[in-house]
A and B are shown apart, each in its own frame.
Chain A
Amino acid sequence: MQPTTPNFKQNARDAIANDPLQAALGKLAVGFPMRRLEAAARLPEFENLRDQARDIKTHVLENLDYYLEAYEQKVVESGGHVHWCRDAEEARETILEICQKAGAKTVTKSKSMISEEIAVNKYLEENGIEPVETDLGEYIIQLRKEPPSHIIAPAIHLSKEQVAETFRNAHIDLAADRDLDEPRSLLEEARAKLREKFLGADVGLTGANMLIAETGTNVLVTNEGNADLTNNLPRVHVVIASIEKIVPTLEDASTILRVLARSATGQDISVYTTFCTGPRRPEDLDGPEEYHVVLLDNGRSEMIGSEFHEMLRCIRCGACLNHCPIYKSVGGHAYGWVYSGPMGAVLIPNLIGMEEAQHLPNASTLCGKCESVCPMRIPLPKMLRKWRERQFRAHTGAPSARWALRGWAWLAKRPGLYRWAMNVGVAVLGQFGGRGRFRSLPLASGWTSKRDLAAPAGDTFINQFHKGARGDQSGALMRKKVH
């Protein structure tokens, strides 16, 4: 998709004015964090498991070349095919080719962020193949031609009335006066519609939550079961996954699974965790006859060893979105591309370029909540700061802000001059701040457009202190033994 990331500020304003979106975000902001906390509280080992999950991926990234080769060998041994792709275009072409060879008319899909990243749906449509998203949320936004607004809850921004309207416009073969008031009736309509698609599809395209090197397996995690009908029923199963999805063993996958759902939805484990290895065996009664893995780089190998290396540990759980005060204010679409939230703010500039995405690393208070909940302990604020350093070196951003900042720094490096300037400034502002605060102030409109500004007291603390002032003294202090 064409990123709207450069319009982040306007996108954010629109999002803040969008009432149904704000209602949805308000609900999300309470529900997900509360359930995550409850799940973590039920598992005393949760924090230690986070450490281990981090260590597993750290080890994988340090040996990624070895693991990819080992993984590939196992896929081939189990009868599957691995297609290495440098970028989105190669991946799209590879998928199309597999579909065309299979004579496919319909491709069912289960939710995959990588498939959003490479915009494969549009490409398949242009080539006469119908892609059908089967995750309920993805199905809804596909009908609306929108990108996902959350990694694990793609239609979180919509009200049930909006979904009903979408279904009425899309399912024109059904009675116009049917009752679509409740989420249950919406679900039943989608289930029936998608059941036809599942049974008729020629190719099933899934993502992968993990790729297991030990066995050449892809792991799929869903609550709906759509990934299972997608990979099991069609004649061909295609997995699209990026190279950093590798984990070494079944044991390592299990450890990561123990933190994934707890971090994402607050479930102990998702309803369906599926391990697919190769095509169906000769004696099997069902399953695909062909198994393909499209292994995508798309900028990841360049991130190895860079200051964004640790971002490759991300398992796309969405916890950083659920806990981010910025995400909770503006939702996912404001970020203007397929990812959002803190992980998006780090990843998007890596994938579409710093120029396009320059707002994202700046639109953060670096409050650190994301890092505190990330199951893989990715230092997201540190990486946002790394982007800001790159931008500063490249002179992107408003020149006025740059000069104000550099001016302050210039002064801060000259204590004598700084003290003189501050004394003058504080004295002047103190003169005008008789009511204790300013409602508007030239050069501070960024602040005073939204809030009052407290006025300084007329003399600096350091001045007063060195003149011998000690403030108002009273009270007695008690201490316990110093340890």
Chain B
Amino acid sequence: MSDTAKPTVGLFATCLVDLMRPVVGFAAVKLLEDAGCRVDVPVAQTCCGQPAYNSGDKTDAQDIAKSVIETFEGFDYVVAPSGSCAGMIKDHYPEAFEDDTEWRPRAQALAAKTYELMSFLADVRGVTSTGAAFEGTVTYHDSCSGLRELGIKDQPRALLSTVSGLHISEGKETETCCGFGGLFCVKYPDISEKMVDAKVDDIVATGADTVLAGDLGCLMNIAGRLQRRGLSIKARHAAEVLAGMSAAPAIGEPADEE
């Protein structure tokens, strides 16, 4: 395929990946390029506005959304390595502009071409295997937004099941919230702790050595609690494994330990 025939993808890296875990961004770029896309990562991107939106600050959320729309509306697709941020753009941008005749159509147009990374690979690009290898038993945590706003459940599992050396051990409560919830986890730390402990217990019960998910917010919460409890289970974004970039230290692990 010539470069001009390839669809253009604007990678919405998400603020957490940008700041905390660049390897997820590189993994996303690689997976998208391997899937026949021309990828760009616009410098003008910041945050999707979800923290403001979920805190009731609709005006700021709308302003941020406008800037995301302007930055990304020229691409054929917008892809984010996060169900939460993709869900924000896909579900909540049109909702945030429901009374705005100028911006609503633009929000809807962007929503229509915005995808979470793994569902984009599987559903839009028809990727069945990424040819990666990973030695170990993993369990998968379904992030709430990805699962319930975007219907992401089978796609990551289907892709992961083709990773050579990887065995998936399912938890009983994979669909239960980990207790992150953005600002929730700092506003209501006791309840959040109770929830993430339940999540950690469920992960431990699977016997997995690594927990994977598609959202860095959940993963940082789970990894932070695993580490606080002195458990050695590692946490990674599923894209790292799918892109064969699992040589990087797991979330919250020092570089020299690997």
- Per a CB cutoff under 8 Å, which of A393, A419, A437 touches B227? A437
- In contact, A446 and B186 (Cβ under 8 angstroms): yes
Given contacts A366-B181, A479-B127, is CB(A415)–CB(B51) below 8 Å? no
- In contact, B56 and A9 (Cβ under 8 angstroms): no
- In contact, A368 and B131 (Cβ under 8 angstroms): no
**Which A residues between 369 and 387 are near B, CB-CB below 8 angstroms?**
369, 371-372, 382, 385, 387
A472 to B254, CA, bound (A): 18
A306 to B248, CA, bound (A): 51
A469 to B25, CA, bound (A): 11
Binds A, one of B38-46, B107-115, B204-212: B38-46
Given contacts A408-B51, A451-B225, A474-B244, is CB(A413)–CB(B19) below 8 Å? no
- Per a CB cutoff under 8 Å, which of B21, B175, B192, B228 touches A457? B21
Q: Does B194 contact A (CB under 8 A)?
A: yes
Q: Does B6 contact A (CB under 8 A)?
A: no
CB distance from B202 to the nearest CB of A (A): 12
B22, B36, B52, B180 — most chain A CB neighbours (10 Å): B22
Given contacts A330-B191, A406-B57, A479-B127, is CB(A466)–CB(B41) below 8 Å? yes
A-B pairs with CB below 8 Å: how many?
272
Q: Does B157 contact A (CB under 8 A)?
A: no
CB distance from A152 to the nearest CB of B (A): 21
A262 to B228, CA, bound (A): 40
CB distance from A423 to the nearest CB of B (A): 10
A382 to B177, CA, bound (A): 17
- In contact, B20 and A405 (Cβ under 8 angstroms): no
CB distance from A323 to the nearest CB of B (A): 9
A371 to B177, CA, bound (A): 14
CB distance from B48 to the nearest CB of A (A): 9
- In contact, A405 and B180 (Cβ under 8 angstroms): no
- Per a CB cutoff under 8 Å, which of B126, B181, B245, B255 touches A436? B255
- In contact, A446 and B133 (Cβ under 8 angstroms): no
Q: Does B67 contact A (CB under 8 A)?
A: yes
By a CB distance below 8 angstroms, the chain B residues around A482 are 124-126
Residue of B nearest to A482 (CB): B126
By a CB distance below 8 angstroms, the chain B residues around A66 are none
Binds B, one of A89-97, A212-220, A273-281, A357-365: A357-365
Residue of A nearest to B147 (CB): A368
Residue of A nearest to B128 (CB): A480
CB distance from A450 to the nearest CB of B (A): 4
Query: Given known contacts A393-B56, A466-B43, A475-B133, what 18 new A-B pairs fall within 8 Å (CB)?
Result: A9-B188, A365-B177, A366-B54, A366-B144, A372-B148, A392-B56, A405-B52, A409-B60, A412-B60, A413-B46, A446-B189, A450-B192, A450-B225, A454-B223, A461-B17, A471-B25, A477-B34, A479-B126
10 A–B pairs (Cβ distance < 8 Å), ordered by A:
A16-B190, A329-B195, A330-B191, A388-B54, A405-B51, A409-B49, A446-B187, A461-B41, A478-B128, A482-B126
Give residues in A with beta carbon < 8 Å to B.
9, 12-13, 16, 325-326, 329-330, 362-369, 371-372, 382, 385, 387-393, 401, 405-406, 408-413, 415, 418-419, 422, 425-426, 434-437, 439, 444, 446-447, 449-457, 459-462, 464-466, 469-483
Give residues in B with beta carbon < 8 Å to A.
13, 15, 17-27, 29-31, 34-36, 41, 43-47, 49, 51-58, 60-61, 63-64, 67, 95, 124-133, 144-145, 148-149, 162, 175-177, 179-196, 198, 220-221, 223-225, 227-228, 243-245, 247-249, 251-255, 257
Closest A-B pairs by Cβ, 8 of them: A471-B26, A365-B181, A446-B186, A388-B56, A451-B224, A392-B56, A461-B22, A409-B60
